[in-house]
Amino acid sequence: MREAFSGISVVDATGSIAGNYCAKLLRLHGADVTMVEPVGGSPVRQWGPPGGRADDASPLFRHLNAGKRSVSVDVANDVSRRAARRIAEAADVVLHDERAEAWLDPAPLAERAVVCRITDFPAVSRWEGWSGSEMIHQALSGVMYVTGSPDHQPLYGVGHRAYFAAGVSAYITVTSALLERRSSGRGQRARTTVLESSAAMAQNFVTQYAYNRTYSTRRRYPGMLSILKCRDAWVILFALRHFDGLCETFDVPELLTDPRFVDPVVRGANWHLASDILAAAAARFDADELVDRGQRRKVSIEKVHSMADLLRSEQLRARGMVVQDDGRTSLGPVFRSVVAS
Amino acid sequence: MSELAGESEPRSEVTGPLAGVQVIDFTSAWAGPMTTRSLAFLGATVIKIESPVTMDSWRGSVHGAAPDRFPDLVPGERPYNRNSYFNTQNHDKLSVALNLKMPGAADVVYALAETSDVVIANFSPGVLDRLGLGYDRLSAINPRIITVEMPAFGSGGPMTHHVGMGMTMEAACGMTGLMGYGDGKPVPTGTAYMDPIGGLHGAAAVLTALVDRERTGVGQRIEVAQTEAAMHWIGDELIAAAEGGEPWQACGNRVRDAAPHDAYPCAGTDEWVAVAVFDDDQWRALCAEIGRNGLVDDPRFATSDARWQNQDDLADVIGAWTSGQDKSAVAQRLQRAGVPAAPVRNGADIWGCPGLREIGFLATLDHPEAGTHDYPGLAYRLERTPGAVRRAAPRFGEHNDHVLREVLGFSAERVEELRASGAVADRPAS
């Protein structure tokens, strides 16, 4: 599968996390990717946490763009613009945003190539002229409203997840169009927006309200979820099944016969009470020990891993998920073929 | 015959780019069904194989589920056909109910495999093989078949057989530890956000394998370990940590590169507006909008570093201005002035958003047992071969006869034998 897009040339003229992630997925599977950056470099070069080497681009930029070629375009210069256009005209896939339209007219390319516009908001919409960011999209999607404590302001989450969602959405869009091109011989124009991608991540908020005029809040998670502090770290428990195993795990057999938890319906209604009992029990264990006890009994429980935990993880080592090369770090495959093709 | 009145006719004209692709879908809950929902949106024929014994948990149980999942809060006679969770993630699919432990059921899958392109499951690693439906068995029937498994953790490590749900996978992949109010307690995302992350990567994996098959002529077995895919979404934090960078300490909505960057209270109960200021221009614009131009050069706020250091003071100033105002109006006003802002929307706001309706993100579908309602769309927009939300989610076993008789060409007698043996079911076990 690493050669799926062998022979496919991609121009990434987006300058965004979404576009860069889409192109990364294409490159990971064999495409030849050329980034077209403005003079001074893509803004993504400066985003994210600082890296270990002063001379490096940011870890975010390297994570997204390792293995791609880069050319720069000076939009004020005719020769430079024409050169960049020629590269785009030869590509099978062109990813672009509003900024690239200063030197690129995507429409004529679409007869042969797949041309995908990746932007924060649809071009013609009520959000025209809006500026997006991760928090802005999480707020619009509904996910922020339900994240956090009811006693505090809602939390947007972490990182750039709305933009990564748009990146995968763009990849799905582009690859489906490439597949269709095999039979039709024709390219087409496509688009993905961060607004729609992040809204599509938001469970069934639209449907719940449409069905019965209710909506979720931060007051209570609609499932048997507990966040528990062990002696050394936090764990998260989701108690959908195997309540007997859960009681064994926490060494609280009395819960099995407690009428407040005797069947799934009353257990769900009284889960906050169960959580208090489990919290007291969890404090007697180390997190790894409790997770091991639970997983042996098919209980869905995991330690809240820090980055340091992940870097020490035997699971990630066995899977080759953290790759070190000359002081630089990269991650293993996003998904993989089990049988060599 | 199925007892369901009015078995809906599967669509005949599909224009999406995956028209002609056939998928056998063993997935349940959210991640896997979002993968196959994406494929169906893009035009694939998705045949969902449902167990009458262990029903898709998003249908709920035969007796119902939480009231807020049902139309008008009423579970009805067959709640499993009216559950909004299931009906959101399974539009445009066909439902065939097979008890794979009964004689003859596996033969139905083998027959479907002859003409299918993709088989997809989100069982634990190894379950598909134990059912006799793994890649080795199916590729012997159809060498072009692609199987996709979506376990929580990848095979070959000590966590391979861990039971993973969305919330616990989020903790395991490192995201939850990066979120919180700064008091040391982690805060998970308010929905099982790992599921749609897995769902998107599942669809990406299927499409990659379909493209690869054009090159090689044969299928393959794909594994999408959901925690590993999600780790890429915070890959920069992991890389920075590996290279000796300072670990990120969660502190509410505060981020490294913007201040103010938070949600501020508005008129009403639990109503908020998110405001993000990334540079001095946006700061000046914000000060002008709130009528506090004097703050521009206030030493506490004059530079981005100073604003970052004095965020508590900023919160008081901005919160005093937003309180009592409508969240959408505030956001509109700030965006017009060049300041990133948005209302923190709830389900009612999103459903009522005219903008989402105008861009075609919301679709209205008529479901024979749930009624006519709006559903969210997906973000894949193709101009010449558009995908779409076309048909409501199937009722349990709704397409038993269509698939067995018309797709597979089984005789009426054979279908009735399968029903009599319990291999095919028209209703879930109680």
The count of domains in chain B is 2
pLDDT at A57 over 90: no
Domain carrying residue B139: 22-233+360-421
Q: Are residues B150 and B123 in the same domain?
A: yes
| Residues 6 or more apart whose Cβ sits within 8 Å of residue A278 | A226, A228, A237, A250, A252
The confidence score (pLDDT) of residue A24 equals 98
pLDDT at B11 over 60: no
The confidence score (pLDDT) of residue B1 equals 46
The confidence score (pLDDT) of residue B276 equals 98
Q: Are residues B104 and B215 in the same domain?
A: yes
Look at residues A122, A153, A157, A116 and name the one whose alpha carbon lies nearest to residue A136. A157
The confidence score (pLDDT) of residue A222 equals 78
pLDDT at B271 over 80: yes
pLDDT digits (tens, 9 = 90+) for A233-262: 999 999 988 999 999 999 999 999 999 998
Q: Are A60 and A39 in contact (CB under 8 A)?
A: no
So where are chain A's domains? 2-205, 225-303
The confidence score (pLDDT) of residue A50 equals 74
pLDDT at A341 over 50: no
Q: Are residues B56 and B158 in the same domain?
A: yes
Spell out which residues of chain A touch residue B189, defining contact as CB-CB under 8 Å. Answer: 143, 147, 157
Radius of gyration of chain B (CA): 25
Averaged pLDDT of chain A: 94
The confidence score (pLDDT) of residue B267 equals 98
Those of residues 137-156 in A touching chain B at CB distance below 8 A are: 137-150, 152-156
Residue B408 DSSP symbol:
S
Q: What is the mean pLDDT of residues A302-322?
A: 97
Q: How many other C-beta atoms lie within 10 A of the C-beta of residue A321? A: 22
Those of residues 58-117 in A touching chain B at CB distance below 8 A are: 58-60, 62-63, 110
Q: Are residues B378 and B323 in the same domain?
A: no
Look at residues A156, A141, A195 and name the one whose alpha carbon lies nearest to residue B255. A156
Q: Are residues B170 and B285 in the same domain?
A: no
Q: Are residues B369 and B331 in the same domain?
A: no
| Cα(A47)–Cα(A96) distance, integer angstroms | 19
Q: Are B148 and B119 in contact (CB under 8 A)?
A: yes
Pairwise CB contact (< 8 Å): A211 & B252 = no
Pairwise CB contact (< 8 Å): A126 & B354 = yes
In total, the C-beta contacts within 8 angstroms joining chain A to chain B are 502
- The domain that holds B218 is classified in CATH as 3.40.50.10540
What's the gap in Å between the CA of A78 and the closest CA on chain B? 30
- The domain that holds B331 is classified in CATH as 3.30.1540.10
B5 located within any domain: no
The confidence score (pLDDT) of residue A327 equals 82
Q: How many other C-beta atoms lie within 10 A of the C-beta of residue B57? A: 16
Those of residues 283-322 in B touching chain A at CB distance below 8 A are: none
pLDDT at A112 over 90: yes
Altogether, the residues listed in chain A come to a count of: 341
**Does residue A168 sit at the B interface (CB-CB below 8 Å)?**
yes
The confidence score (pLDDT) of residue A54 equals 61
Q: Are residues B382 and B272 in the same domain?
A: no
Pairwise CB contact (< 8 Å): B276 & A53 = no
**3.40.50.10540, 3.30.70.100, 3.40.50.970, 3.40.50.2020: CATH of A2-205:** 3.40.50.10540
pLDDT at A146 over 60: yes
Question: Confidence class of residue B123 from pLDDT cuts 50, 70 and 90?
Answer: confident
Q: Are residues B161 and B295 in the same domain?
A: no
Q: Are residues B182 and B54 in the same domain?
A: yes
* Whole-model pTM over 0.95: yes
Those of residues 332-391 in B touching chain A at CB distance below 8 A are: 335-336, 338-351, 354-356, 358-359, 361-362, 370, 373-385, 387
The confidence score (pLDDT) of residue B250 equals 92
Range from B11-15, B188-192, B422-426 carrying the lowest mean pLDDT: B11-15
B220 located within any domain: yes
Spell out which residues of chain B touch residue A216, defining contact as CB-CB under 8 Å. Answer: 190-191, 346-347
Q: What is the mean pLDDT of residues A102-109?
A: 94
ipTM: 0.97
Residue A173 DSSP symbol:
H
Q: What is the mean pLDDT of residues B372-390?
A: 97
Q: Which residue of A has its CA nearest to B249?
A: A306
pLDDT at B2 over 60: no
Is the preceding omega at residue B260 within 30 degrees of 0, hence cis? yes
B249 located within any domain: no
What's the gap in Å between the CA of A190 and the closest CA on chain B? 4
Pairwise CB contact (< 8 Å): A214 & B215 = no
Please tell me which of the candidates B175, B270, B373 has its beta carbon nearest to residue A211: B373
Q: Are B340 and A132 in contact (CB under 8 A)?
A: yes
Distances (CA, A) of A314 to A138, B154, B186, B359: 33, 12, 23, 46
Q: Are residues B317 and B391 in the same domain?
A: no
Q: Does domain A225-303 have CATH number 3.30.1540.10?
A: yes
What's the gap in Å between the CA of B32 and the closest CA on chain A? 13
Cα–Cα–Cα angle for A296, B85, B171, rounded to 5 degrees: 40
Q: To probe the interface with A, which of B207, B314, B323, B357 has the most A CB atoms within 10 Å?
A: B207
Q: Which amino acid is at A225?
A: L
Distance of CA B326 to the CA centre of its chain: 30
Q: Are B341 and B258 in contact (CB under 8 A)?
A: no
Q: Are A238 and B170 in contact (CB under 8 A)?
A: no
B150 located within any domain: yes
Taking every pair of Cα atoms in chain A, the longest distance, rounded to a whole number of angstroms, is 80
pLDDT digits (tens, 9 = 90+) for A256-306: 999 999 888 899 889 999 999 999 999 999 999 999 999 999 999 999 999
pLDDT at A108 over 50: yes
pLDDT at B5 over 50: no
| Cα(A28)–Cα(A12) distance, integer angstroms | 14
